[in-house]
């Protein structure tokens, strides 16, 4: 048994877990902190509007609802500017590191692959429907907690009882669609994603393949393609000018860098995916995804 383990162990020093999962750890930390902030800020009335009771709170101080709405508009403007600034610096960083919807869609995508694949049983599919519904409700509650006292949903006498339920059901329906389709939401439908594709963008750091390698060096590995949340080919997407297949769609998540390092260092080889500031020149065959050596099986 011991001999077997010794045979399987790679014959080279292995990087730490941190080195091979750096972007995954940092990104998930960022997402979770944002979601915690979205829960804590209205719950502790650091910033909250309560439409149902016609009042608002800023830093724990009760203010007129008009003042509260003013603060929301300012926050919304700040948010829109932040998205543009991040987009100008490094593309859709907002989607890959900040947006709670992006995080939820990514987690859902993992469940979708587990429960809603072509070989999934009816029971697994049902599980996925239920899971998507629960996540959509929780996600809607997260946002309604900003604009109302959630108890309004139980007080029939409150004039906002019916309108709030109406708005809540509509919002949950949209969120259900979002979480059910997983990461396809970010790729195709998300208005913030579309907004970032059409506003000016720049990528200071671009993920791509090291200049000395070509597609044949990957052999049969497709790990970075399989794990890219935006369904891109990370090795060459930075050369492509396309809303869905090119750099406009990249959320600068770094997953391709992490994954390639995991795969290659296990085989005692240098990782092929890196961040670059300047893209090395490539011939059109590489950009089109053509292999130089014909594949023989």
Binding site residues, ligand SF4, CB under 6 A:
207, 209, 218, 221-224, 228-230, 232, 234-235, 237, 250-256, 259-260, 263-264, 272-273
The residue (of 121 and 278) whose beta carbon lies closer to ligand SF4 is 278
The total of other beta-carbon atoms located within 10 Å of residue 61's CB is 10
The residue (of 147 and 260) whose beta carbon lies closer to ligand SF4 is 260
Q: In what order do the strands lie in the sheet with 61-63?
A: 47-50, 55-58, 61-63
Closest distance to ligand SF4 from the beta carbon of 116 (Å): 22
Closest distance to ligand SF4 from the beta carbon of 20 (Å): 12
Closest distance to ligand SF4 from the beta carbon of 226 (Å): 9
List CB contacts of 137: < 8 A, sequence separation 6 or more.
172
Residue 65 CA to residue 18 CA, distance in Å, equals 47
Closest distance to ligand SF4 from the beta carbon of 259 (Å): 5
Residue 90 in contact with residue 97, Cβ under 8 Å? no
The residue (of 160 and 286) whose beta carbon lies closer to ligand SF4 is 286
Closest distance to ligand SF4 from the beta carbon of 251 (Å): 5
Closest distance to ligand SF4 from the beta carbon of 199 (Å): 18
The residue (of 48 and 206) whose beta carbon lies closer to ligand SF4 is 206
The residue (of 68 and 254) whose beta carbon lies closer to ligand SF4 is 254
Closest distance to ligand SF4 from the beta carbon of 122 (Å): 33
Closest distance to ligand SF4 from the beta carbon of 55 (Å): 42
């Amino acid at each position: 048994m011991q001999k077997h383990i010794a045979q399987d162990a790679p014959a080279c020093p292995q990087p730490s877990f941190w080195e091979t999962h750096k972007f995954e750890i940092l990104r998930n930390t960022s997402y979770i902190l944002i979601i915690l902030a979205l829960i804590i800020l209205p719950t502790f009335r650091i910033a909250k509007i309560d439409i149902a009771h016609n009042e608002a709170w800023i830093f724990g101080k009760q203010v007129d609802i008009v003042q509260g709405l003013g603060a929301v508009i300012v926050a919304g403007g700040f948010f829109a500017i932040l998205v543009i600034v991040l987009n100008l610096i490094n593309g859709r960083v907002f989607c890959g590191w900040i947006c709670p919807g992006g995080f939820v869609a990514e987690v859902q995508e993992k469940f979708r692959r587990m429960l809603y694949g072509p070989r999934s049983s009816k029971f697994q599919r049902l599980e996925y429907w239920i899971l998507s519904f629960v996540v959509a409700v929780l996600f809607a509650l997260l946002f309604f907690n900003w604009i109302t006292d959630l108890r309004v949903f139980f007080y029939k006498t409150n004039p906002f009882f019916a309108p709030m339920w109406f708005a809540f059901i509509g919002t949950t329906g949209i969120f259900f669609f979002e979480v059910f389709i997983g990461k396809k939401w970010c790729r195709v439908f998300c208005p913030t994603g579309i907004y970032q594709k059409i506003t000016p963008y720049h990528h200071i750091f671009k993920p791509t393949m090291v200049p000395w390698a070509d597609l044949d060096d990957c052999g049969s590995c497709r790990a970075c393609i399989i794990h890219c949340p935006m369904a891109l080919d990370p090795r060459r997407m930075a050369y492509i000018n396309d809303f869905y297949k090119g750099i406009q769609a990249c959320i600068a998540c770094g997953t391709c860098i992490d994954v390639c390092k995991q795969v290659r260092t296990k085989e005692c080889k240098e990782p092929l995916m890196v961040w670059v500031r300047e893209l090395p020149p490539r011939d059109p065959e590489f950009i089109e995804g053509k292999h130089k050596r014909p594949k023989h099986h």
